[in-house]
Amino acid sequence: MFNQNSAATQYPKPAQQPASSSSTGTTMVPEARDALNNMKHEIANELGINLKQGYNGDLSSRQAGYIGGYMVKRLIEQAERSISGQ
């Protein structure tokens, strides 16, 4: 039979994120904000999505997801190149 108390003790509790994590809406490396913003606009341009400076609340979830997904893809590619020494 399943015992709730024993199940809770089987798994460690998730670690608390530091106060400066991105989940709080702050940038961990403030100097990177402009570079990420430039990347966002560059990728949106490549995808044919018009971004305005500032708030872009009129974007669909799909458009915002495309931009964010391509940003992640590009950042991973950059990290892999950096690690491999290219």
- The sign one gets for the Cα dihedral 53, 66, 64, 48 is positive
**Average pLDDT of the residues of the chain:** 80
Portion of the chain with pLDDT greater than 70, in percent: 69
Query: How would residue 4 be classed by pLDDT, with cut points 50, 70 and 90?
Result: low
Q: How far apart are CA 49 and CA 71, in angstroms?
A: 14
For residue 37, which of 83, 13, 68 has the smallest C-alpha distance? 68
Contact 57, 26 (CB under 8 A): no
Decide: 65 and 40 in contact? Cβ < 8 Å: no
Q: From residue 52, how far is each of 30, 38, 40, 68 by CA, in Å?
A: 21, 12, 11, 16
Quick check: pTM over 0.75?
no
Average pLDDT over residues 3-27: 56
Helix (H) or strand (E) holding 17: none
Per-residue pLDDT band at 23 (split at 50, 70, 90)? low
